[in-house]
């Protein structure tokens, strides 16, 4: 790929060169990229938006920047020292959520309100649901929340996908209580039909195999094809549509990003919303970031669009030097989905087989792993071959029978989308559950994963808990594993190591003081000149947990 120093293109919407990229640009985005992306968004990503005139877009310095600007647009800052409690505004989030959004909201004095979730994300009705919270809001806490932050596809960290009918229910409640929805969808293209096949196999007491993936028919999470206008691409039409597709009120701001489709370091994304929102966001951008990097915008534009003519001097992403165009970009997205889905299936299959630990009632430590069962209470009798060997040697016949427990160490739902597997630890079956505080047991397990010979780094669930109560009660029972950050071979190695680490941790009869465990781990790491490779199942380099 090559961006020329100077393009001779006469059309500003086709002009891609270094000369224009390095100058001050417009707040809405580099003209060539803005034009291409706006057309792609309106005609292919979201061709069925119901309001007249359709949406507009504005480019951002990534989704985090887009969210920050959306907060500035939709939220009035509140100070405990200066303002009445009745004036405090709130933001609804999922029970487990992407904490950068929470951390951006809290300094503004926002009241962050978690809503219960299930296997499709945020729950519309019932105890702890969206309707329950809004209809029973206590004004002593401040104003009833008027803003929602939600990740509906490949939810971070749980990996759930919200179907269309659920979206309609959530949208209807938001319309009733006048809640504006910020839909953060960096993983929209990463929807995995095979996850439903795996969960179906588990329900039938079967181990998921490739045949299950091939023969399974995915539950319908989107509307029949005739309900919405076609995007022109089967792959895009197969995906659960955005909230934008049902946005009759114009209350959706959608955040998209190139971080998960090209490179995180691009720091480039865009917001799609009704034109009135975009106009206000344009003014905010003019007085803050002014524009995303011109360098980055020109490179992405050249990749997608390519030069206007062969004499232009540029070279796009296609082999012949032209740009990928819309069809090439969609092929890239579909291929990327397939790549990540294979990694997800590799991790899921290994963890599925290792959920249970088999241990004798007379000898609580056993090296047998991977028993297949759906009940942690299953028990059966087995012949002790070790006793048979001993009897042969002693010329005696005192074969023994022992009760054997199949103990579930963890569980998970196969990720229906995104980059993460949300693993829930069943600490209730650990020998020390009555003797060690849950948060200390969780922390000890996290360091155990890091230790030799396992050497796997993952994100603790407390990092995705929007309140201290959630972190200390249920968040500490979870870990988030990112299967997208490493290649498939390392995904397999890490997954086997996780199963092995669980089994050895379940043999522990004593947990050291958490501070001693932490100090000992870092001391060991510094002493080793040559160490086993640490596999990072986080989504950032260097093992940063976010």
Could you tell me if 315 and 422 lie in one domain?
A: no
CA 97 from centroid of its chain's CA atoms: 9
pLDDT at 17 over 50: yes
Segment 57-84, tens digit of pLDDT: 999 999 999 999 999 999 999 999 999 9
Could you tell me if 115 and 218 lie in one domain?
A: yes
Query: Which range among 167-171, 236-240, 424-428, 539-543 shows the weakest confidence by mean pLDDT?
Result: 539-543
Could you tell me if 422 and 331 lie in one domain?
A: no
Could you tell me if 137 and 174 lie in one domain?
A: yes
pLDDT of 310 reads 76
Peptide bond into 157 cis (omega under 30): yes
Cα dihedral across residues 464, 447, 491, 526: positive or negative: positive
| Domain boundary residue, one of 339, 368, 400 | 339
Across the range 229-256, mean pLDDT stands at 95
Size (the chain), residues? 546
Could you tell me if 292 and 276 lie in one domain?
A: yes
- Is 545 within a domain? no
pLDDT of 243 reads 97
Across the range 288-300, mean pLDDT stands at 93
Could you tell me if 512 and 478 lie in one domain?
A: yes
Give the C-alpha separation, 124 to 126, whole Å: 7
Range of the domain at 235: 18-339
| Domain boundary residue, one of 339, 374, 400 | 339
Segment 166-202, tens digit of pLDDT: 999 999 999 999 999 999 999 999 999 888 888 877 7
Across the range 45-57, mean pLDDT stands at 94
Q: Which CA distances in Å does 138 have to 122, 198, 404, 425?
A: 21, 42, 51, 34
- Is 1 within a domain? no
pLDDT of 6 reads 86
The structural domain count of the chain equals: 2
pLDDT at 499 over 90: yes
Segment 350-406, tens digit of pLDDT: 999 999 998 765 544 443 333 333 333 443 333 334 334 444 444 444 455 556 778
pLDDT of 311 reads 76
How would you classify residue 178: left for phi > 0, otherwise alpha for psi between -120 and 50, otherwise beta? left
Across the range 294-316, mean pLDDT stands at 88
Burial level of 246, CB count in 10 A (0-12/13-18/19+)? buried
- Is 11 within a domain? no
Segment 446-489, tens digit of pLDDT: 999 999 999 999 999 999 999 999 999 999 999 999 999 899 99
Domain harbouring 502, CATH code: 3.90.1150.10
- 3-state SS of the chain: helix, strand, coil percent to 5? 40, 15, 45
Across the range 207-230, mean pLDDT stands at 58
Could you tell me if 417 and 330 lie in one domain?
A: no
Confidence of residue 541 (pLDDT cuts 50, 70, 90): very low
Instruction: Specify whether the CB–CB gap between 150 and 94 falls below 8 A.
Output: yes
- Is 484 within a domain? yes
pLDDT of 73 reads 96
Segment 192-214, tens digit of pLDDT: 988 888 887 777 776 665 555 55
| Domain boundary residue, one of 289, 304, 339 | 339
Confidence of residue 127 (pLDDT cuts 50, 70, 90): very high
> Does pTM surpass 0.75?
yes
- Is 365 within a domain? no
Domain harbouring 263, CATH code: 3.40.640.10
Could you tell me if 301 and 355 lie in one domain?
A: no
């Amino acid at each position: 790929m090559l961006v020329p120093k100077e393009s001779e293109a006469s059309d500003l919407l086709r002009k891609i060169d270094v000369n224009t990229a390095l100058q001050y640009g417009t707040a809405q985005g580099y003209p060539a990229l803005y034009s291409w992306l706006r057309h792609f968004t309106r005609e292919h990503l979201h061709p069925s938006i119901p309001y007249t005139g359709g949406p507009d877009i504005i480019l951002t310095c990534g989704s985090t920047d887009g969210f920050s600007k959306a907060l500035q647009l939709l939220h009035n800052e509140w100070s405990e020292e200066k303002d009445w409690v009745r004036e405090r505004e709130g933001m609804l989030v999922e029970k487990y959520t992407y904490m950068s959004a929470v951390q951006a909201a809290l300094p503004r004095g926002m009241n962050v309100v978690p809503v219960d979730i299930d296997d499709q994300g945020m729950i519309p009705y019932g105890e702890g649901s969206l309707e329950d919270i809004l209809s029973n809001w206590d004004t002593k806490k401040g104003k009833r929340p008027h803003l929602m932050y939600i990740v509906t596809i490949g939810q971070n960290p749980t990996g759930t996908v919200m179907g269309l009918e659920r979206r309609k229910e959530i949208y209807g409640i938001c319309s009733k209580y006048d809640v504006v929805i910020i839909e953060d969808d960096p993983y929209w293209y990463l929807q995995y039909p095979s996850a439903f096949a795996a969960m179906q196999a588990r329900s039938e007491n079967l181990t998921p195999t490739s045949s299950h993936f091939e023969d399974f028919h995915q539950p319908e999470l989107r509307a029949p094809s005739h309900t919405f206008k076609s995007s022109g691409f089967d792959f895009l039409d197969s995906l659960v549509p955005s909230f934008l597709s049902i946005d009759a009120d114009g209350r959706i701001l959608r955040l998209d990003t190139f971080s998960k489709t090209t490179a995180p370091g691009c720091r480039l994304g865009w917001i799609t919303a009704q034109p009135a929102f975009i106009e206000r966001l344009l003014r905010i951008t003019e007085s803050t970031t002014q524009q995303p990097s011109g360098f980055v915008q020109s490179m992405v534009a050249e990749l997608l669009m390519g030069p206007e003519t062969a004499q232009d001097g540029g070279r796009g992403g296609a082999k012949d030097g032209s740009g990928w165009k819309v069809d090439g970009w969609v092929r890239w997205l579909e291929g990327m989905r397939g790549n990540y889905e294979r990694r997800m299936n590799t991790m899921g299959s290994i963890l599925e087989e290792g959920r249970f630990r088999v241990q004798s009632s007379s000898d609580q430590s056993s090296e047998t792993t991977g028993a297949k069962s759906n009940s942690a209470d299953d028990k059966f009798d087995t012949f002790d071959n070790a006793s048979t060997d001993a009897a042969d040697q002693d010329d005696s016949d005192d074969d023994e029978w022992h009760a054997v427990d199949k103990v579930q160490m963890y569980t998970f739902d196969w990720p229906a989308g995104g980059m993460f597997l949300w693993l829930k630890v069943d600490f209730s079956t650990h020998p020390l559950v009555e003797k060690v505080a849950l948060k200390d047991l969780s922390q000890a397990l996290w360091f155990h994963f890091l230790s030799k010979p396992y050497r796997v780094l993952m994100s603790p669930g407390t990092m995705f808990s929007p309140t201290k109560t959630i972190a200390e009660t249920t968040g500490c029972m979870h870990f988030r594993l990112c299967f997208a950050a490493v290649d498939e071979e390392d995904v397999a190695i890490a997954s086997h190591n996780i199963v092995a680490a669980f089994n050895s941790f379940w043999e522990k009869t004593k947990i050291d003081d958490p501070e001693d465990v932490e100090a000992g781990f870092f001391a060991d790491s510094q002493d080793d000149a040559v160490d086993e490779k640490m596999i990072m199942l986080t989504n950032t380099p260097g093992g940063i947990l976010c």
